[in-house]
Amino acid sequence: MPGHATLSQIDDFPNMGVSDIGLVRQTLLSRLYGRTQPSTLVGLSTQLSSIHSLLHRTVTNLEGNSVLVIGPRGSGKTTLIQKALSLLHHHKPQQEHGQEREQEQKKTHHVVKLSGFIHTTDKIALRDIARQLLITQDLENILIGSFSDAFTYILQQMRTDSSDRPTPLVFILEEFDLLAQHPKQSLLYTLFDIAQQSQRQTPIAVVGVTARVDVMDLLEKRVKSRFSHRQVYVQYTQSPEEFAQIVREALSTGDPGFDHRVDEVLADAPVRAYILEAYEFSKDPRRALRVFASAVARLSQLHPALSLDEIRESVGRERASAKMQVLRGISLLELYLLVAMRGLLGTGSGKFNFEMVYAEYKLFMSRYVMGSSGSMKVYKKPVAMKAFETLVELEIVRGVGEGNAAAGGVSGRNDLLAASGRAPKEYRMVQMMLEPGQVVELVEAREDVPAVVRRWAQQ
């Protein structure tokens, strides 16, 4: 293996082996932290084909395009786009023999990345666009004009420095819904307008990324008229088997020996249980992948295989968080409500309200009290509501904000307890911020929990 190989040169490992364990370590860590993507994206082949086809038409055929990629956080939107961009390197436009050397020195396309979290105004976005395109001439003078004029100037500078064939631009707009909150939406209008015109002088593709399914309602009429209305939807994986396969692909190198060890680690009962818990809790692969980071970071020539003991320790550390230490002091009623929430998670919904939790708790208690000679106390609803509010204050339970409901997000902890609101607080939707396995651990760690509740928590 060449010692100077870089991450961009090794999308896949199969033809390289793992003799340079440092490069393997670096690449796997980059995957685990989401900076690069594995060779295969599980469950996203259709979406990948759509996005790659669109970008390929812009880069190869000089065609203007725009698309929105919509899906919940952690579903793989950014990974999907990164993979589509990496595939463009394998589809360079055909060059005549005399142009090959020039093409090696000139990029086939430029990628500009913006984020609604960072680029909070059009001026900030425009300045970063110029920086990413390495254009600084008279920048301060043009920033005092309109966004459209300034952006047109930047495109003219690019055309001045280019050859006969224009260089396409690919704009990746993360947190697209936040960019839509800019005054007059000048940034989005200008980009969509140029993409719609399909100007062969400077063809651009605009890829918006958002977790809000109602994002189209945020766009002004004139912006909608310039948008192509292409939308690609990304969903969480639909089975624990696919979820586990995502983890395996992130750790795969293509080397038979290394990958066999990966399979052994993933088959270990505690590791397999943790991956299943991560799937049941949020379906976000990042929660499962982070427990492998420390073991991957310790790979070396002397220890070229993943350490199962290290991974088990990481699983233990994830479960024994500071929040878990606080929870060990909660009351029995508060613990019973958490067990009731765990039961609701088993119905397939991660969101519920106090009325649903209390009904689940009362159903169990009525069965126990009426079906046996037990003497457990059934708490009245106002008392249970106070216990529920304590869980909210501890941020073990968080309200699902009305503004974020479409995105699957959660709001601040005080939203649920505020006196104002469209619905009574007992009907406001919430989400438990614990994994099902953590609830079971809490029950098992308490000596004062009745045996029947222990069995309830295991169901």
Q: How far apart are CA 186 and CA 330, in angstroms?
A: 52
Domain boundaries, the chain: 7-34+237-319, 45-233, 325-458
C-alpha to C-alpha distances, 454 to 176, 450, 458, nearest whole angstrom: 46, 7, 6
Architecture of the 325-458 domain: Orthogonal Bundle (1.10)
Whether the per-residue pLDDT at 407 is higher than 80: the answer is no
Of 439 and 325, the structure prediction assigns the larger pLDDT to 439
Per-residue pLDDT tens for 179-193?
998 888 999 999 999
* Dihedral pair phi/psi, residue 256, rounded to 5°: -55, -45
Output the DSSP codes for 218-233: GS-HHHHHHS---EEE
What phi and psi, each to the nearest 5 degrees, are found at residue 166?
Answer: -65, 155
Q: Taking residues 289-308, what's their average pLDDT?
A: 92
Q: Whole-number mean pLDDT of the chain?
A: 81
pLDDT class for 218, splitting at 50, 70, 90?
A: very high
Whether 45-233 and 325-458 share one fold: the answer is: no
pLDDT interval class at 412 (50, 70, 90)? very low
CATH class name, domain 45-233: alpha beta
Taking the C-alpha atoms of residue 29 and residue 16, their distance in angstroms, rounded to an integer, is 18
Average pLDDT for 404-429: 57
Token look-up 């047109």 returns: 152
Q: Which long-range contacts (CB under 8 A, 24 or more apart) does 444-449 make?
A: 445/328, 446/328, 446/332, 446/335, 448/332, 449/332, 449/335
Most confident segment among 2-11, 130-139, 174-183: 174-183
Range scoring the smallest mean pLDDT among 21-25, 134-138, 245-249, 287-291: 134-138
Backbone angles phi, psi at 34, to 5 degrees: 80, 15
pLDDT digits (tens, 9 = 90+) for 244-278: 999 999 999 888 989 999 999 999 999 999 999 88
pLDDT confidence of 12, banded at 50, 70, 90? very low
**List of residues 6+ apart from 197 with CB closer than 8 A:** 64
Residue 45: exposed, middle, or buried by beta-carbon count in 10 A (0-12, 13-18, 19+)? exposed
